[in-house]
Amino acid sequence: MAYGSVFATGLFAGKVVLVTGGGSGIGRCVAHELAALGAHVVLLGRKADKLQQVMDEIVQDGGLASFHVCDIRQEDLVKQTVAAVVAAQGRIDGLVNNAGGQYMTPLEGISAKGWEAVLATNLTGGFLMARECFLQSMSRHGGAIVNIVADMWGSMPGMGHSGAARCGMVSFTETAALEWAGRGVRVNAVAPGYIASSGMDKYPPEMGPMLREMAQTVPLGRFGTEAETAAGIVFLLSPAASFISGSVLRIDGARPQVRLGWPMRAASKEVRQRAAIKPFEGFHRAQTPKVFLPEAATKKE
């Protein structure tokens, strides 16, 4: 099987695109789609075994990929890694700032160390990656950057550190779009809502029931897929988005529009099968998060 992308074959032929957090979830999916469209995908992450596995998958599918182990929170390591990519590939045409992570805790329970760790991963690390890609390649050749944020409209109760970091990344996106436009660099963001990704399995088991019920709070009545998120990212990297910069593309099924006082009528199963909102399942290697498997729903949390 091959990736079922909606984009033209060869769209990214000859392009080099970095994907941070490329060893799992949305990062793995977008890496596969970009490779299927002809890009040489450079996977970045902290775990070599996961990066190796995704690289092997891409090569088995006929694509081009390599990887570098990199903790994006470490400035010197980011500089060295970007330099190594430029030395090996000649240039960097695109960056998907996907690496991130957080944990559930109310504000009063977040320590300074925990706050700083989440901001370092979701804000500072993305800034360092974007800055070095700009300085070491894109300032001379142009390029496109897509920063992955989150559904933080209306705040992120229970994950205030992540909400603050994501809002900061949106502001950084807008500033970079302005400052770097003169060098032919576009900078946008994608804000995924509730996406059925492997990241769901990182939460404690006791959160399983809540995670499974979250789809009922989405007007379209379901979780999004990794492939639907990847398609938005690929679009913003593509020539079709050549006049789009400083924007945030929400991929969330209208979840932030839910309002008190307006009756919630999530789309039924029958309605969800209509072509207009039927899930896009283009990723041929997609894996259902364990928390959504039938046995998880019957298992005592």
The two three-digit tokens of residue 32, written as one number: 């596969």
- Degrees, nearest 5: CA angle 72-226-279: 165
Topology annotation, domain 16-298 = Rossmann fold (3.40.50)
Q: Are 146 and 93 in contact (CB under 8 A)?
A: no
In this structure, the chain runs to a length of 301
Q: Give the contacts of 74 (CB within 8 A, at least 6 positions apart).
A: none
- List the domain boundaries for the chain: 16-298
Distance CA 22, CA 55 (A): 9
Q: Are 252 and 194 in contact (CB under 8 A)?
A: yes
Q: Are 175 and 217 in contact (CB under 8 A)?
A: no
The string of DSSP codes covering 135-156 is IIIIHHH-EEEEEE----TT--
Query: pLDDT tens digits, the chain, 301 residues: what are they?
Result: 899 999 999 999 999 999 999 999 999 999 999 999 999 999 999 999 999 999 999 999 999 999 999 999 999 999 999 999 999 999 999 999 999 887 778 889 989 999 899 999 999 999 999 999 999 999 999 999 999 998 888 788 777 788 889 999 999 999 999 999 999 999 999 999 999 987 777 777 777 777 788 888 899 999 999 999 999 999 999 999 999 999 999 999 999 898 878 888 888 888 888 877 888 999 999 988 888 877 665 565 4
Distance CA 248, CA 114 (A): 27
Q: Are 173 and 188 in contact (CB under 8 A)?
A: yes
What interhelical angle do 160-179 and 125-133 show, nearest 10?
A: 20
Distance CA 4, CA 198 (A): 20
